[in-house]
Amino acid sequence: MAALPNISNIREMQAWSDHARREGKRIVLVPTMGFLHEGHLSLVRQGRQKGDRLVVSIFANPAQFAPTEDFDNYPRDLERDIRLLAEERVDLLFNPTAEEIYPAGYQTYVDVDQVSQPLCGAHRPGHFRGVATVVLKLFNIVRPHAAVFGLKDYQQLQVIRRMTEDLNVDVEIVACPTVREPDGLAMSSRNRYLTPVERDAALCLQSALGKAEALVVGGETAAQRIREAVVEEISRQPLARLEYADLRDPRELCPVEEVKGPTLLALCAWVGKARLIDNRILAGEGP
């Protein structure tokens, strides 16, 4: 298997991309925080279709973790990640250090106002500020033509879309469907925290989304009644603790009362030590 070229220095990364651009190559970036799973690899495969040079970044971004969140214990396995990316024939790995991205004296952050506030933003203050900041920095460093993000982190995708639009960032944002285990559980680095019993319990997220969908297909339009059914389904699972269940406009993420067209149902629940999120677009397709 060919070795995976690897850059960790910002100037070197920019020079690599400038060279590829001068050669007329279209650069695609897949930003990750490492500890890769099939969900990431599907972003990589989608990225491959979108251009000529595929760059994957691995950077566990301290700025998107609150002081109460366990950044130091975020799972890491760089050796395995490199092996997986080499198998996917990725052209380049960019894996900078935290000191390279946030040198001493660093003080500039990107705040995407409204779409960052509800859902995960309400429960993880500062999270999307950290995400938007690092993604904009990665765009300035890797200088991609396109970047790929998963629909599982739906709010993150909307924050990034809003940021690129508002700040006139010339990067195409590509959205990729959520990859699921055969029984429907959305793939996530956090699933590794689940014990076998909790792993079964975690399926309540999927069944709650299914219940909501069935209600909408059956003609229910009242967001409150759909939400109540979701809350009830999660509460039937004693190992799950609901953090939020919300119906929202799929682009602006403002609350909706009536499901009259495509509507985001976003869900977050704790199962054991794992904070799990999932979502579905009800009554149509997302933006």
User: Is residue 61 within the footprint of ligand PAF (CB under 6 A)?
Assistant: yes
**Residue whose entry in the numeric block shows the structure tokens 């490199």:** 82
Each residue 20-59 as x (binds ligand PAF by CB under 6 A) or -, in order, gives -----------xxx--------------------------
User: Is residue 223 within the footprint of ligand PAF (CB under 6 A)?
Assistant: no
User: Is residue 135 within the footprint of ligand PAF (CB under 6 A)?
Assistant: yes
Which token pair is 280?
């579905």
Q: Which amino acid is at 161?
A: R
User: Is residue 246 within the footprint of ligand PAF (CB under 6 A)?
Assistant: no
User: Is residue 153 within the footprint of ligand PAF (CB under 6 A)?
Assistant: yes
User: Is residue 198 within the footprint of ligand PAF (CB under 6 A)?
Assistant: no
CA angle 277, 282, 283 (to 5 degrees): 170
Provide, rounded to whole angstroms, the least separation between the CB of residue 59 and ligand PAF: 6
Secondary structure (DSSP) of 189-254? GGGGG--HHHHHHTHHHHHHHHHHHHHHHTT--BHHHHHHHHHHHHHTSTTEEEEEEEEE-TTT--
59 vs 9, 168, 223, 235, CA distance in Å?
Answer: 12, 24, 38, 36
Show Cβ contacts of residue 177 under 8 Å, excluding neighbours closer than 6 positions. Answer: 42, 150, 151
Q: In angstroms, rounded to a whole number, what is the distance separating the alpha carbons of residues 149 and 144?
A: 13
Name which of 135 and 256 has its Cβ closer to ligand PAF: 135
Name which of 62 and 213 has its Cβ closer to ligand PAF: 62
Provide, rounded to whole angstroms, the least separation between the CB of residue 36 and ligand PAF: 10
User: Is residue 191 within the footprint of ligand PAF (CB under 6 A)?
Assistant: no
User: Is residue 131 within the footprint of ligand PAF (CB under 6 A)?
Assistant: yes
- The residues assigned a catalytic role are 40
Secondary structure (DSSP) of 25-45? PPEEEEEE-SS--HHHHHHHH
Q: In angstroms, rounded to a whole number, what is the distance separating the alpha carbons of residues 20 and 111?
A: 31
Name which of 131 and 194 has its Cβ closer to ligand PAF: 131
Provide, rounded to whole angstroms, the least separation between the CB of residue 195 and ligand PAF: 24
Name which of 90 and 216 has its Cβ closer to ligand PAF: 90
Q: In angstroms, rounded to a whole number, what is the distance separating the alpha carbons of residues 21 and 258?
A: 47
User: Is residue 188 within the footprint of ligand PAF (CB under 6 A)?
Assistant: no
Give residues in contact with ligand PAF (CB under 6 A). Answer: 31-33, 61, 64, 131, 134-135, 153, 156
